[in-house]
Amino acid sequence: MKALIFPGQGIQREGMGKELYDKFPEAREYFELANDLLGRRITDVMFKGSEIELMETKNTQPAVFLYCTILALIQKDIIPDVVAGHSLGEFAALVVNKTLSFEDGLNLVLNRAIIAQKVCEKYETAMGAIIGFPDEYIEKRLEEISKESGEPIYFANYNGPGQVVITGSKKGIRIACKIFKAEGAKKAVPLSIGGSFHSPYMEEARTELAIIIDNTKFKTPICPIYQCVDGMAHTNIDEIRNNLIQHITHPVLWTDIVNNMEKDGINEYYEVGTDDTLQKIIARMCPNKKISSILEAQTYSSINN
């Protein structure tokens, strides 16, 4: 059984998507449709923009969504039995399994980016990566550090055993990273991501996005999606919709997603992105499975069009 897996924010690269645009007519059509829908040439930012421009949430999220979604849609060989997306990647996964149309997926991502950006500008928040401690230890220490410092700090991503992302106030993240490093963490550093995604800081964004999600058409998917809020496979559109509403304030349970996919018999994983971020995580957790980039595994019939 095959899974297509979609990474989230953080995989953006200067020039991302240009090769797809130049080589594949079908990709070019999707990119130009996106430009029309957005009312601006997001492709100019993706193909020619600086790293700083790509780091802006209003650009990052549509750019990552477009690259991953289009890359998956134009390939013809791998038909997924399931899909899963890490954080922002869940929106691409929902388009690829036909729960959302390309247009509706892009609209949700655009609104998510704009609404989240407003919240990011309102609060002094940050995110940080901690590697080398059991999740249970980090959970316990976060409560203690938050209480002692008076700074709000939360779990954002359970990325794999011993690999997590935390979020909260900028001061709180600095304090927590310093403490975890002193306690022997292999890595404990703030990330270059503005805002506090997957935390209570995003409650205003969740409320605003819920209205838009409720007014978006969801269709029965062609294959299950493992969702971030509970790590479980879903095909019921009401469950998928409700989980997507909770998505921006709830921790990403990627560890649970991978464990459940393995338990359910998934033995081939293809990452749809610019690098091997998710492949590395899955390789550590499922060393005997076939794990690859979709770029390495595929031929693209569009090249002959």
| Residue 292, φ and ψ in degrees, nearest 5 | -155, 165
Same domain, 132 and 103: no
Q: Which residue has the tokens 């605003």?
A: 208
In the prediction, which pLDDT does 77 show?
87
**Could you list the mean pLDDT of each consecutive 10-residue stretch along the chain, which spans 305 residues?**
94 93 96 96 94 85 96 93 97 98 97 90 93 95 96 96 95 97 96 85 96 98 98 98 97 97 96 93 92 73 37
Same domain, 89 and 212: yes
Per-residue 3-state assignment (H helix, E strand, C coil) for 188-242:
EEECCCCCCCCCHHHHHHHHHHHHHHHCCCCCCCCCCEECCCCCCEECCHHHHHH
| 34, amino acid identity | A
Same domain, 74 and 153: no
Distance CA 40, CA 276 (A): 30
In the prediction, which pLDDT does 297 show?
63
Same domain, 137 and 152: yes
**Residue numbers of the domain that contains 174:** 124-190
Distance CA 261, CA 257 (A): 6
- Residues identified as active-site: 87, 198
Q: Closest Cα to residue 260, out of 233, 228, 235?
A: 233
Residue 121: partners with Cβ closer than 8 Å, 6 or more residues away: none
Q: What angle do CA 79, 257, 192 make, to 5 degrees?
A: 100
In the prediction, which pLDDT does 302 show?
37
Give the containing element (helix H, strand E) for 37: helix 25-38
Of 190, 214, 247, which closes a domain?
Answer: 190
In the prediction, which pLDDT does 94 show?
98
Q: CATH code at 257? A: 3.40.366.10
Distance CA 301, CA 299 (A): 6
Of 146, 172, 190, which closes a domain?
Answer: 190
Strands (E), the chain: 2-6, 82-85, 125-131, 153-160, 163-169, 187-190, 225-226, 233-234, 268-271, 290-293
Q: What's the domain count of the chain?
A: 2
Same domain, 80 and 223: yes
In the prediction, which pLDDT does 9 show?
86
In a domain, 195, yes or no: no
| Residue 117, φ and ψ in degrees, nearest 5 | -60, -40
Q: Closest Cα to residue 129, out of 87, 84, 160?
A: 160
Q: What is the DSSP letter of 10?
A: T
Same domain, 240 and 258: yes
Same domain, 160 and 175: yes
